[in-house]
Amino acid sequence: MPRTTTVESPGCPPLRALTFDSLGLVKVIEAHDGQDGGAVKMVERWGDPDSSKCVLAASILDRESDPLVSVARKCGSIEVISAINGDLRAQIPNHGDEDDAITGLHLFSKQQSESSSRACKLFTCTTKGHARMESIELGGTVAEFVRDPSPTVWDVCGSGNILCSKIDGNENYALFGGKGVEVNLWDLQKCVKIWTAKCPPKNTLGIFTPTWFTSATFLSKDDHRKFVAGTNSHQVRLYDISAQRRPVISVDFRETPIKAVCEDIDGNTIYIGNGSGDLASIDMRTGKLLGCFIGKCSGGIKSIARHPQLPVIASCGLDSYLRIWDIQSRQLLSAVFLKQHLTSVVFDSHFRKEVPVPEVTNTVEEAEVIETPAKRKKGFKDEHTSKKKKSKRSSKKRLSDDED
């Protein structure tokens, strides 16, 4: 049985999140203010359980009208679904090898203002480094969507395995890293590599740490020059392409590999999760550990998401729990057990809580008017019964008089 925390959860503000798991299911999680103490609950489940449809990567087009979610599955297909009701809008088959899994997925949002709301632009990257960008036009049904006949395809590495990729906030640059692949930066408009990191030197014992990046993210959405990468050797490294090729700051965290990295909206703080379930926040200006979140998870953390407006983050992983944390107190606000191993989580920031319909408060006179018929109904039954009894008595009395 999974270990649960004993910390009292005060509840979280109204929010909506989507989780993705190892059986290919998409689950909608919501929290409503004033209901169940602000606890998160699963309200919907989309899809049928199938291990071949395990979700490897997910991306959300977070907009107020017709939000979309793209999902990359283990079988190689990519699906675009509605983030509101889970309807399948497009399905793209895989043209690569079966052992070339999709590790990076991004659904562009900046280009939506330049085109119709039905136009989407997808970016994918596989383990072997095959990157692809293509545009699709959504239709009324799945069969009506139209693919780009000439997508942009290129290779981002010649050897090694890509394990992480990230698109910057302006969606002009892409970051890649992996096992045997140093983190490198690409210009998406020209499809050319503009920067490659240099591996750190040997340590004091003369031991060289092999290149193995597990997660990466940009430190700020407005600046592509600074980014953070987590390694299999439990290090968090800050790179600045305008300063040098080697890490500007390197921080060791616990003893297990870093599995998830997420940036904060302040442009300075990051949140990291490792393979043993530890979750912490670090100020990358100084490399100082701000603190660990209260209540350790019982499994490795696979994904961390920061809410764009609310001061909360969500984490999920191998212990099948979705947890909502307060970023200031680092306290657990709420948690929900979702049965399957979770691979990713995203926030729907345009979710609005339902405004409860105010109950009509009746005045004293109205209350009396409403209550009186009920009493009258009861009194009517009693009176009707008493009349029957009275009529029986009177009839018996008449019979006795007639006999006399």
Per-residue three-class SS string for the chain: CCCCCCCCCCCCCCEEEEEEECCCCEEEEEECCCCHHHCCEEEEEECCCCHHHCEEEEEEECCCCCCEEEEEECCCCEEEEECCCCCEEEEECCCCCCCCCEEEEEECCHHHHCCCCCEEEEEEEECCCEEEEEEEECCCCHHHCEECCCCEEEECCCCCEEEEEEECCCCCEEEEEEECEEEEEEECCCCEEEEECCCCCCCCCCCCCCCEEEEEEEEECCEEEEEEEEECCCEEEEEECCCCCCCCEEEECCCCCEEEEEECCCCCEEEEEECCCCEEEEECCCCEEEEECCCCCCCCEEEEEECCCCCEEEEEECCCEEEEEECCCCCEEEEEECCCCEEEEEECCCCCCCCCCCCCCCCHHHHHHHHHHHHHHHHHHHHHHHHHHHHHHHHHHHHHHHHC
Q: What is the Cα–Cα distance from 209 to 200, expressed in whole angstroms?
A: 8
How many domains, in total, are found in the chain? 2
Domain contains 45: yes
pLDDT at 55 over 50: yes
- Buried/exposed code over 250-280 (b: 16+ C-beta within 10 A; e: otherwise): ebebeeebbbbbbbbeeeebbbbbbbbbbbb
Of the candidates 175, 283, 274, 182, the one whose C-alpha atom is nearest the C-alpha of residue 234 is: 274
pLDDT confidence tier of residue 8, bands split at 50, 70 and 90: low
* Residue 9: CB atoms within 10 Å: 18
pLDDT at 380 over 80: no
Do 258 and 154 sit in the same domain of this protein?
Answer: yes
Ranking 97-111, 181-195, 239-253, 314-328 by mean pLDDT, the lowest is 97-111
Domain span holding position 370: 363-404
pLDDT confidence tier of residue 200, bands split at 50, 70 and 90: confident
Domain contains 7: no
Domain contains 140: yes
pLDDT confidence tier of residue 97, bands split at 50, 70 and 90: low
Do 125 and 222 sit in the same domain of this protein?
Answer: yes
Q: What is the Cα–Cα distance from 90 to 141, expressed in whole angstroms?
A: 8
pLDDT mean over 250-257: 95
Do 298 and 380 sit in the same domain of this protein?
Answer: no
pLDDT at 370 over 50: no
pLDDT at 3 over 50: no
Domain contains 184: yes
Domain contains 394: yes
Do 281 and 368 sit in the same domain of this protein?
Answer: no
Q: What is the Cα–Cα distance from 389 to 396, expressed in whole angstroms?
A: 11
Q: What residues have CB less than 8 Å from 74, skipping those under 6 apart?
A: 24, 51, 52, 53, 54, 55, 56, 101
Of the candidates 13, 1, 64, 70, the one whose C-alpha atom is nearest the C-alpha of residue 37 is: 13
Domain contains 115: yes
Do 244 and 315 sit in the same domain of this protein?
Answer: yes
Domain contains 352: no
pLDDT cut 70: percent of the chain above it = 82
pLDDT at residue 204 in the model: 77
Single out the residue in 300, 317, 347 at which a domain terminates.
Answer: 347
pLDDT at 346 over 60: yes
CB-count burial class (<10 Å; 0-12, 13-18, 19+) for 233: middle
pLDDT at 117 over 70: no
The answer to whether 315 touches 274, Cβ cutoff 8 Å, is no
pLDDT mean over 7-21: 85
Q: What is the Cα–Cα distance from 323 to 304, expressed in whole angstroms?
A: 10
Do 258 and 142 sit in the same domain of this protein?
Answer: yes
Express each pLDDT in 139-156 by its tens digit.
Answer: 878 888 898 889 999 999
pTM of the model: 0.84
pLDDT at residue 111 in the model: 57
Do 214 and 257 sit in the same domain of this protein?
Answer: yes
pLDDT at residue 113 in the model: 45
Q: What residues have CB less than 8 Å from 245, skipping those under 6 apart?
A: 195, 196, 197, 198
pLDDT at residue 70 in the model: 96
Q: What is the Cα–Cα distance from 328 to 87, expressed in whole angstroms?
A: 36
Do 222 and 336 sit in the same domain of this protein?
Answer: yes
Looking at per-residue confidence, does 230 or 119 come out higher? 230
Q: What is the Cα–Cα distance from 67 to 59, expressed in whole angstroms?
A: 11
Highest-scoring range by mean pLDDT, 255-259, 296-300, 351-355: 255-259
Domain contains 259: yes
Do 45 and 81 sit in the same domain of this protein?
Answer: yes
pLDDT at residue 208 in the model: 85
Do 314 and 395 sit in the same domain of this protein?
Answer: no
pLDDT at 393 over 80: no
Do 234 and 371 sit in the same domain of this protein?
Answer: no
Do 394 and 274 sit in the same domain of this protein?
Answer: no
pLDDT mean over 350-360: 58
